[in-house]
Structure 1
Amino acid sequence: MAKADQLLSVLWLLRSRSRMTAEQLAEQLETSVRTIYRYIDALCMSGVPVEAEPGHGGGYRLPPSFREAPLFFNIDELKAMVHAGRFAEQAGYPYIEPLRQATGKMQSRLNEEQLEELQRHTAGFEVIQPSVHRADETLLQEIERAVARSSTLAIRYEKWKGTEPEERKVNPYGLVNRLYKWYLIGHCHLRDDMRIFRVDRIAAAVLTEHSFVRPESFSLRDYMQNRFDAGQEKNEKQDQPVRLEGDPAMIAHLRDNWYMRERIVSHTPDSITLLLDKSSLEGFFPRFLLSFATTLRIVQPVELRQRVAKLARELADFHGTDIPVETK
């Protein structure tokens, strides 16, 4: 029996061309003419209306009604797959090269009119995301294989970025991509409990010979959401409200900032209230506000206003030293 993928290849080729000879099909599929005859017979027996035209200029063809009908995917389904591939690539999908090959094969089987329409739908669609926290593709593939095989992983994990990696053994339940960061969720042997591991902090991962059974009722989505919701609720109790007023364009810029979006409590065109933790208020945020100069005013807390004012004075003192005085 002819292989299903080879039969589909013959079908795609006939669908994308007006007609093809057995020799042309054999050349495209790198097989013999005799094998092509068997494939054509198998297609006809399965109900595909392959028409044979003898003589010079003849060959095999499909009726126009069959060629114009969607074989597996209509144009909306085709563009959805191409668009989804672009999202996957920006998310750091670990099998991006096979994905590109698959979409490439799909597009190579389209006729000229279909390909032009698909290109019109995809030419003006792009996904661009920051490359921070990118996980290694080979590492992601190794973890994915461990998940699929239910194999325990031996990992070297940096609990905090820049610290000495710790040796851990983990039963990997799955990979989750959240806000373009990859997380491994699994049962940690050291802690004898479920844990979430940032993949960009895993220095190495090796499959072991030990296997495990993942609970059938376990949900990656539910576990991840519950953990982050619980952490967010805990942090919000310790966070401090920050109210800013100023230029509507600058307020809009803050609302669109990827870090600020999840910390917005309320906003109007000329004001915004955020919830920020202590480390942010004492660390990067005062320096961040300096970049807005006089377009934003800190309403509360007073301590934040004082920190920004102190930084501005230090900046003025630093850059104001040793500047030659112009004389007329």
Structure 2
Amino acid sequence: MSAGRLLSVLLLLQSRGRLSARAIAEELGVSVRTAYRDVERLQGAGIPVYAEPGRAGGYRLLDGYRTRLTGISEGEARALLFAGLPDAAADLGLAEEVSAARLKLLAALPAGPREEAARTAAVFHVDAPGWYREPERTPYLPLFVDATLTRRVMQVRYRRWRAPQEVSRRLHPYGLVLKSGVWYVVAATEDAAAPSPTTATYRVAQVLDATLGDERFDRPREFELGAYWASYLADFRARRYTGTATIRLSPRGRLRLPDNVAPEVVRAVDATATAVGGEGWVEAVVPTESTAHACGELLRLGADVEVVAPAELRRAMTDTVGSLARTYGLTGPA
């Protein structure tokens, strides 16, 4: 009999709720008979495990029973998810809890596993923010954490990109997402014109003011943060690119492409590139957001790119290059 396996059964029941003997066996890689015996041993040790009969039945712990083998507090348990993300934990106001939970976990381990955990921590470091920019200031992020966990309504002032730029919103925060070092809150937005709140995504750094109210909200049972975010990204990509452009690239331009444009543009070049002329130049069709945005991105490649179509983008490139030539012609050396 493995004491470690019995502990695993206990923690499975504590974290998952009702589980059949077959489900326990599959999780632990043992036989169903062994799973039955392990549950009986837990019961014999005084752990309040009871069986529920029927097709949807299984084993579960008595309501309210929790083991505190580690002595971890509620706040430290919240922080465990960010144990390997110290910067994210600090943003959320959980830095002290992460440190305390980590110390308790290490203290609970035997000498061998504790040393292995320390060696692993010494060779991995996560730095979420992207290059070439300062981390965003998010003073209201801890307030969003509180609102999300306690399901309390928030009143915020928010700055957006379209007019009117400053708006007020009553939010039901459903969850927080860290994307490339930028925090977003996914929240249902109350609108007098709509019969029910609509779910939207807000950049936390754009929140100008926020207050936490006493009113509670119910998070929909069917809402799943990861699935929502995947759908949001897919919709964002679909709305992001509204046109296409035909471009020509030199070998050096194609090599520099991943450092200067979005991955979708690189994939489009790889999928549509055909050889033109000599010296390794290729022609490809790429997606574009707008004329101004495409012009700014492609100009990073200098003389290693030529826009063939549409005419509007080609004119924008010509006008910008001409303006640069005039500027440097006036200010450069004689």
**What's the TM-score, normalizing by structure 1?**
0.59
Distance 1:316 1:247 in 2: 25
Specify whether residues 305 and 183 from structure 1 end up closer, same or farther in structure 2 by C-alpha distance, changes over 3 A only: same
Could you list the runs of 5+ residues in structure 1 that have no partner in the other structure?
A: 1-45, 47-70, 73-80
Q: Are the structure 2 counterparts of residues 105 and 295 from structure 1 closer, same or farther at C-alpha, using a change threshold of 3 Å?
A: farther
Specify the code of the residue in structure 1 equivalent to 2:87. Answer: E
Structure-2 residue corresponding to 1:282: 292
Query: CA, structure 1 residues 210+324, in 2 after alignment: closer, same or farther (shift >3 Å)?
Result: closer
Q: Secondary structure at the match of 1:174?
A: strand
C-alpha change, 1:277 and 1:209, in structure 2 (3 Å) is same
User: Does structure 2 conserve the Cα–Cα contact (< 8 Å) formed by 1:83 and 1:125?
Assistant: no
Q: For 1:133-144, what aligned pairs fall within 5 Å after superposition?
A: 134-136=136-138, 138-144=139-145
In structure 2, what is the equivalent of residue 255 of structure 1? 258
Using the TM superposition, give the Cα deviation of residue 153 of structure 1 relative to its aligned residue in structure 2, in angstroms.
Answer: 0.7
For residues 254 and 162 of structure 1, what CA distance do their matches in structure 2 show?
A: 34
**Aligned equivalents of 1:220, 1:132: Cα separation in 2:** 27
SS in 2 for 1:175: strand
The letter of the residue matching 1:260 is: A
After superposition, residues 100-249 of structure 1 pair within 5 angstroms as: 100-103=99-102, 115=115, 118-119=118-119, 122-123=122-123, 125=125, 127=127, 129-130=129-130, 131=133, 134-136=136-138, 138-160=139-161, 165-190=166-191, 192=194, 193-194=197-198, 195-236=200-241, 238-248=242-252
In the alignment, the residues of structure 2 paired with residue 303 and residue 101 of structure 1 have an alpha-carbon distance, to the nearest angstrom, of 59
Q: Count the aligned residue pairs.
A: 241
Q: Partner letter of residue 129 of structure 1?
A: P
> For the residues of structure 1 that align with 2:127 and 2:114, how far apart are their CA atoms?
23
- CA displacement at 1:88 relative to structure 2: 5.9
Partner of 1:97: 95
Q: Distance in 1 between matches of 2:215 and 2:173?
A: 12
Secondary structure of 1:321's partner?
Answer: helix
Cα distance between partner residues in 2 of 1:113 and 1:229: 41
Residues 224 and 83 (structure 1), Cα distance of their counterparts in 2 relative to 1, 3 Å cut: closer
| Partners of 2:236 and 2:114 in 1: CA distance | 49
Instruction: Tell me how far apart the structure 2 counterparts of residues 240 and 209 of structure 1 sit (CA, whole Å).
Output: 50
Residue range with higher mean Cα deviation, 183-192 or 94-103: 94-103
- RMSD after superposition: 3.9
Displacement, 1:143? 0.7
**Post-superposition offset of 1:152:** 0.7
Compared CA separation, residues 246 and 84, structure 1 to 2 (3 A): farther
CA contact (8 A) 2:269 2:285 kept: yes
**Where do 1:19-38 residues align within 5 Å?**
none
The AA in structure 1 aligned to 2:179 is R
Is the contact between residue 91 and residue 180 of structure 1 (CA under 8 Å) also seen in structure 2? no
Equivalent in the alignment of 1:53 = none
Distance 1:144 1:324, change over 3 A: closer
- The CA distance in 2 between the partners of 1:153 and 1:128, in whole Å, is 27
Q: Which amino acid in the other structure matches residue 255 of structure 2?
A: A
User: Judging changes above 3 Å, is the alpha-carbon distance between structure 1 residues 127 and 298 closer, same or farther for their aligned structure 2 residues?
Assistant: same
Q: CA deviation at 1:149?
A: 1.0
Deviation at 1:312, TM superposition (A): 1.7
Q: Which residue of 2 aligns with 1:294?
A: 303
Question: Cα distance 1:125–1:97, how it changes in 2: closer, same or farther (>3 A)?
Answer: closer
SS in 1 for 2:269: strand
Contact 1:242-1:275 at 8 Å conserved across structures: no
Give ranges in structure 2 of 5+ residues lacking alignment: 1-44, 46-68, 71-78, 274-280
Q: Which has more radius of gyration?
A: 1
Identical-pair percentage = 18
The match for 2:18 is none
> Is the alpha carbon distance of 1:104 and 1:215 closer, same or farther for their aligned partners in structure 2, counting shifts above 3 Å?
same
Higher alpha-carbon deviation: 147-156 or 121-130: 121-130
Task: Give, in angstroms, the shift of residue 155 of structure 1.
Answer: 1.0
Query: Following TM superposition, by how much is the alpha carbon of 1:145 offset from its aligned partner in structure 2, in angstroms?
Result: 0.9
* SS of equivalent residue, structure 1 residue 215: coil
Letter in 2 for 1:139: Y
Q: Verify the 8 A CA contact 2:91 2:142 in the aligned structure 1.
A: no
Matched residue, 1:27: none
Look up the match of 1:266: 268
